[in-house]
């Protein structure tokens, strides 16, 4: 898949999509980078925090996951 056009969108949505795709492929660290970039673009996006939290659990970063889950809940509507 060509990610360039999606990334240049300057919103968090395509970065979340790419992150989920990378996670599905088992590329957890790369997926986390995409979710982190999504958060940098839109710090109010609860999906990016939630997605990153679920992967942090897989990596054993329980405190990081907890922080992300809390951030996701705070930003949920």
pLDDT at 75: 97
Please, are residues 52 and 71 in contact by the beta-carbon 8 Å criterion? no
Give the predicted TM-score (pTM) of the model.
0.87
Element (H, E) at 43: none
Residue with tokens 């996670």: 23
Q: Are 2 and 9 in contact (CB under 8 A)?
A: no
CA distances to 11, 21, 29, 60 from 65, in Å: 23, 19, 14, 9
pLDDT digits (tens, 9 = 90+) for 27-63: 999 999 999 999 999 999 999 999 999 999 999 999 9
Q: How confident is the model at residue 77 (pLDDT cuts 50, 70, 90)?
A: confident
Q: What percent of the chain has pLDDT over 90?
A: 84
Residue 10 has pLDDT above 80, yes or no: no
């Amino acid at each position: 898949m060509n990610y360039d056009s999606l990334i240049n969108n300057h919103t968090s949505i395509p970065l979340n999509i790419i992150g989920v795709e990378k996670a599905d492929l088992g590329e957890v660290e790369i997926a986390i980078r995409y979710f982190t970039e999504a958060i940098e673009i839109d710090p109010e996006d609860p999906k990016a925090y939630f997605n990153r939290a679920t992967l942090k659990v897989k990596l054993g970063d329980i405190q990081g996951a907890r922080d992300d889950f809390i951030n996701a809940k705070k930003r949920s509507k």
